[in-house]
Structure 1
Amino acid sequence: MAVSHTEASLRTLLHDWHVGNGARMVVFGGFSMPLNYAEGVVREHLATRTQAGLFDVSHMGRFRASGQATQDFLSRVLTNDASALAPGQAHYTLLANERGGAIDDAYLYRLSAEDFLLVVNASNRACDWDWLHAQSIPDSVRVTDQSDALAMFALQGPRSEALLAELVDASALPQARRNRLRMGKYEGHALIVARTGYTGEAVGFELFVDAQVAAALWQRLVDAGAVPAGLGARDSLRLEAGLPLYGHELGSDRDGAEIPIFANRLARFGVRKPGMGDYVGRRALDAQCEEYDAVVAGAIGFSQARWLPRLVQPLAVFDGRRPLRAGYDLLLADEPVGYVTSGTSVPVGCAGATEPYRMRPVGLALVRCDIRFDPAAPVRFTVRAARQALMEAQLVERNLPPARMT
């Protein structure tokens, strides 16, 4: 996660609250955002895993698309099929180019038959807007930028549902299934509650609320027991869950080459199956999908791979405390076979937010496609930076236990 300490030109509605409550502020995606509060990243990470973490994610872009031909338009410009969503459902999707690379990854929410909300990354908000408007939007489709009108919070963790139920009417809570949403009201203003998130938690919500009452809702959530958390915990939680971040696992690699969308496991959920309609990037992504299945089955190796010579895979360090960092080289038998795309350390070995813990370095890496996790034959890399061996890292199936995953 690339952050900066230079002056930001943009602020969320809660900027003054964050500063007034001791947040360490950094620049991310052009916004001044909290990296962490006084208790620190680790405690915020643990609070999310054991209680309920509350994140201001209003830096994300929020585009509203409505009108008679909206479903067909979105199905043409996004990798996932908008027609597969019923009102009250959401799914992961991407904006792809014709080469099968990611312009951005996004989440699409179907609010009603002809009304959709598309959430995109903060750093890509302007270019996504321009790209969508270059795709021949039909006259009957109206696309508006709602990023300033709607604040966006993420309430994640096992206590989040009980906490939210104290503050909003039960009718505002969507059914207890991933990717379900419901339209409601808070203090007479628009509220969208969705069972989505970026932490890997089985219980979690993203809230879209009218800017006029956003600060009041945030404060009530905090007063009810939600623990404010910053970008540091958001990054460690998504890495523990193995979730990609644009600019690291999507977009361009460290040499400036395009990372194919299917280099990421999540492509299986964000790209429709071959034969399910035409869309921008379909030919390349159909080919990537076919090759991905062949690679996973062991039918082709590194030298035969045309589209996917490298795949993004999770790593962990079991003997050492130094965090993995983006750009570290991975060597196998002294041969370079990949590099770390994102890295951090996460707390393990405790069941509560205030209990003792130990730190484990984890990360994601772009690794040669023929080198895969095998429980019977562990793959151990030498991790190197600036030609100096730092530690040993191991491919893992996942870093977040399955019981916690969504």
Structure 2
Amino acid sequence: MAGAKHTPLYEEHLELGAKIVEFGGWEMPLHYPQGILSEHLATRKYGGLFDISHMCRLRISGRDALPFLQYVLTSNAAALLPGIAQYTIIPDETGGAIDDGYLYRVSDSDYLLVTNAANAEKDWQWLQQYTPRFHDLTFEDVTGNLAMFALQGPKTKAVLEAVIGNKTGIPEPLLNRLINSELMGADVTIARTGYTGEPLSFELFPPADMAASIWRKLLDSGEEHGIVPVGLGARDTLRLEAGFPLYGQELGTDADGRDIPIFALSAARFAVSFSPVKGDFIGRETLYQQFREVKLRREDRLDTPDDKLLVPRSIYLMALLGDGIARAGSQVLVDDRTVGKVTSGTVVPYWKFEGSGTMTTPGDESARRTICLAYLDAGLSEGQKAEVIIRDKPVSAVIVRRHIGGEAPPYARPLLPNNTKNNARAKGEKAMEELAVNLVQKAQENTIWRQQQAINLIPSE
């Protein structure tokens, strides 16, 4: 691993006994002595602390910061007030993705864009080429000056409040909020963002020279709450369970080397804006045609020939019903017809929950299940039975809407194919009653989401 870079926490990882691997040009912890499965379970029940300082961090500031971001990103940065963040994508001219990331508006004219470590040089060069068009603009890479942690899980809020010393130093309890706080005498931006699907998720941006001290303080304070350090291995299983895409697998190019259209991702609905306020941006026309095609397909009004489709396939979540592990590249069949390939897949552990409704809590027993994301022919739907070819044998699987749910906060509850609407609809009076309750609940969730969490809705939806 000669020439690999180190985060400010490299020595901390060695001291904790981490297994170190090369990732995106960095030497990073894959897991600690407790192992990936234990770290995954600990995050879901208690909390995990992740070093994600390898991520690329770009600061954009000046009076032209907003016009620049509006042009080079898919999201509507004008919708961000100071103290709010949003998921976004860096598009190319053909409707594909250079990368995806998160945009944080730290102050009036100061933004922080976080992208993938493996794409850092590519992202910098791509964005840099457009900076001459904007005169009052500062565009700088602050990855080396600013560390980045993720603190994710049910007990993390209590730990963070204890370390800060008060409850006002953390962001308000709404998705994507951020605040500039003081932690151990250092100015630290804290955001309610994350990559695990946990209802309680924080990401912290401390100065690099204070990173090790703050890391140790968080671990020491979190020990009594069950907080553990977590490596890249469990970070990947957690994001897969949450259904989040990873560039290079669900975004970028597919297994055959073809560009994956941005609207093959369901998250594109929130990451792409066609608002008049946003104006023109890179790839806008092609992306609008992708959006229109997806919308017509959803409304069952699409009559475009297959060879003319802009979004012929989409990313789906799948749960395996039989034995075996779905790996990237595994073929997926529906009615003996190949419909695509797995993009990410593995075995993940989960806690068996006790109780019902909002009183559900994780028990003491855990189990395992095989899940995956797959790039499949568009038009398939939730509940669709399929087969994944594993070691030349077909294994039963089903398309699902999600693998975890947030109905029992602060916990992310596992959703299994036999206890969700992922399978065929139940019949009878009881099923209708459950459906009515579910519709009311979804309507309430949607109203709350639109009022409190929605930042970047597509106006035409």
TM-score by length of 1: 0.93
CA distance in 1, matches of 2:220, 2:209: 19
Match in the other structure for 2:117:
122
For residues 37 and 336 of structure 1, what CA distance do their matches in structure 2 show? 39
Change (3 A) 1:307 1:366: same
Which of 299, 304, 311 is the matching residue for 1:297?
A: 299
1:176 aligns with 2:173: yes
Partner of 1:62: 57
Select 1:383's aligned residue among 380, 385, 388: 388
Pairing 1:286–2:269 present: no
Q: CA deviation at 1:402?
A: 4.1
- Opposite residue 314 of structure 1, the aligned amino acid is L
Which structure: greater helix fraction?
A: 2
Partner of 1:140: 136
Specify the alignment match of 1:239 in structure 2: 240
Shift in Å, 1:189: 2.2
Once residues 248 and 368 of structure 1 are traced to their aligned partners in structure 2, the CA distance between those partners, rounded to angstroms, is: 16
Instruction: Give 2:350's match in structure 1, choosing from 329, 348, 351.
Output: 348
Matches within 5 A, 1:364-375: 364-373=373-382
Match of 2:211 in 1: 214
8 Å Cα contact 1:341-1:366 kept in structure 2: yes
Judge conservation of contact 1:196–1:204 (CA < 8 Å) in 2.
yes
What do residues 241-282 of structure 1 show as CA deviations (whole Å, max 9, x unaligned)? Answer: 110000000000011100000100111111113544111111
Provide the C-alpha distance between the structure 2 equivalents of 1:385 and 1:51, rounded to a whole number of angstroms: 34
* Cα distance between partner residues in 2 of 1:384 and 1:244: 22
Residues 199 and 241 in structure 1, CA contact (< 8 A), matched pair in contact too: yes
1:220, distance to aligned residue in structure 2 (A): 0.7
Distance 1:223 1:242, change over 3 A: same
Aligned to 2:30: 35
Q: Give the Cα–Cα distance (whole angstroms) in 2 for the partners of residues 395 and 296 of structure 1.
A: 16
Return the offset for 1:401. 2.1
Q: Secondary structure at the match of 2:58?
A: strand
Q: Using the alignment, how far apart are the partners of 1:348 and 1:95 within structure 2?
A: 34
For 1:15 and 1:165, locate their aligned partners in 2 and report how far apart those are by CA, in whole Å. 26
Query: Which residue of 2 is the match for residue 88 of structure 1?
Result: 83
| Deviations, residues 277-327 of structure 1 (Å, cap 9, x unaligned) | 11111111111111111222232378446111100000011332x322100
Return the letter of the residue paired with 2:210. Answer: V
Q: Which consecutive unaligned segments of at least 5 residues does structure 2 have? A: 354-360, 414-452, 454-461
CA contact (8 A) 2:76 2:275 kept: no
Q: Quick one: distance in 2 between partners of 1:113 and 1:59?
A: 27
* Match in the other structure for 1:3: none
| Corresponding residue for residue 397 of structure 2 | 393
> Identity of paired residues, percent?
42
Consecutive unaligned residues of structure 1, counting only runs of 5 or more, are 1-5
- Counterpart residue number, 1:307: 310
Note the aligned Cα RMSD (angstroms).
Answer: 1.8
- Closer, same or farther: CA 124–183 of 1 in aligned 2, 3 Å: same
CA contact (8 A) 1:11 1:33 kept: yes
Question: Normalising by the residue count of structure 2, what TM-score does the alignment of the two structures yield?
Answer: 0.82
- 2: CA distance between counterparts of 1:98 and 1:21? 45
In 2 relative to 1, CA 343–203 (structure 1 residues): closer, same or farther, beyond 3 Å? same
Matched with 2:421 is none
Q: Once the two structures are superposed, what CA deviation does each residue of 1:16-53 show, in whole Å capped at 9, x if it has no partner?
A: 11122111111111111111111111111111111111
Please identify runs of 4+ aligned residues in structure 1 that moved more than 4 A: 301-305, 351-354
Q: In 2, Cα distance between the equivalents of 1:200 and 1:189?
A: 28
Quote the offset at 1:333 in angstroms. Answer: 2.2
2:329 to 327, 330, 348: 327
Q: Is the 8 A contact 1:104 1:121 kept in 2?
A: yes
Q: Determine the C-alpha separation between the residues in 1 that align with 2:363 and 2:13.
A: 22
Q: Specify whether residues 66 and 22 from structure 1 end up closer, same or farther in structure 2 by C-alpha distance, changes over 3 A only.
A: same
Question: SS state of the match for residue 148, structure 2?
Answer: strand
C-alpha displacement of 1:356: 2.7
Number of equivalenced pairs: 395
8 A contact 1:8–1:32 mirrored in 2: no
Give the match's secondary structure for 1:240: helix
Larger Rg: 2
| Secondary structure in 1 matching 2:340 | strand
Give the 3 Å change call, closer, same or farther, for CA 349–217 of structure 1 in structure 2.
closer
